[in-house]
Amino acid sequence: SGVCVVEAKTGTSFPSILDSSQKLCGIGLRKKNVLGLKNIDVYAFGVYATDEDIKRHLSEKYGKLSASELQGNKEFTEDLMESDISMTIRLQVVYGRLSIRSVRSAFEVSVGSKLQKFGGSDNKELLQRFTSQFKDEFKIPRGSVIHLSRDKGHVLRTSIDGQEVGSIQSKLLCKSILDLYFGEEPFDNQAKEEIELNMASYL
Ligand code: DAO
Ligand code: DAO
């Protein structure tokens, strides 16, 4: 039931509301270049946030600005990533031959570089704690739905097809993952713009 938004290229559909309180702010596509030869569509994603959390934490600081004035405002983006605002990245796998090994190594590159950017040198342990949640026996066929949720208190909770995989409390890890979707070099630029505009409209 309820309203959905469909990612056009892959036909992946995303519910407009998640867990009764989080609203869909933008959708996009994560691609990966393989050996410099071709781009594969790895997964479609939707970014959700609790509008009341955005209001509570950021309306005093930004409430006087319009959504279009706030779009692309680096400080606003940074505050969205650092404040205690509940958010979820919902991924739906499009690529049919994803192995846990390739997920783990892609993750070490993408999230690892963000941990380094925000946290400095010594984040191997944190990254390992995260990737060690992904056991070899998990299967992630095409169509699998993965949720990466930032819960209250900067707890990152991961689930696959509704089954909880684990959770880790780390502000740095949460920020590093959100940065992949609406930070400075996002996977999908159009998605980032949409996400920022919608989040700003909740102030
Ligand atoms: O087969 O070499 C290949 C392509 C693998 C691409 C792996 C990208 C993984 C990105 C993370 C996916 C998370 C669900
Ligand atoms: O696209 O590089 C990226 C970041 C991917 C984050 C997805 C992590 C999902 C992990 C699921 C593990 C399944 C066992």
* CA–CA dist 59, 81 (Å, integer): 15
Indicate the DSSP class of residue 134. Answer: S
**Whole-structure pTM over 0.90, yes or no?**
yes
Q: Is the CB of 168 under 6 A from ligand 2?
A: no
Which residues on neighbouring strands pair with residue 41, listed in sequence order?
Answer: 31
Is residue 149 within 8 Å of residue 156, measured between CB atoms?
yes
Give the pLDDT confidence of 37-75 residue by residue, as tens digits. Answer: 899 999 999 999 999 999 999 999 999 999 989 988 999
Give the pLDDT confidence of 119-171 residue by residue, as tens digits. Answer: 877 788 999 999 888 888 888 999 999 999 999 999 999 999 999 999 999 99
Ligand nearest to the CA of 130: 2
Mean pLDDT value across the chain: 94
pLDDT range class, residue 87, cuts 50, 70, 90: very high
Q: Is the CB of 95 under 6 A from ligand 2?
A: no
Q: What is the pLDDT of residue 114?
A: 94
CA angle 154, 160, 162 (to 5 degrees): 90
pLDDT range class, residue 15, cuts 50, 70, 90: very high
Provide ipTM, 2 decimals: 0.90
| Burial of 78: CB neighbours in 10 Å, binned 0-12, 13-18, 19+ | middle
Q: Is the CB of 102 under 6 A from ligand 1?
A: yes
End-to-end CA gap in the chain: 28
By most ligand atoms within 8 Å of CB, the mutation choice from 103, 129, 165 for ligand 2 is 103
List the chain domain ranges: 4-201
CATH of segment(s) 4-201 = 3.50.70.10
Helix (H), strand (E) at residue 61: helix 51-62
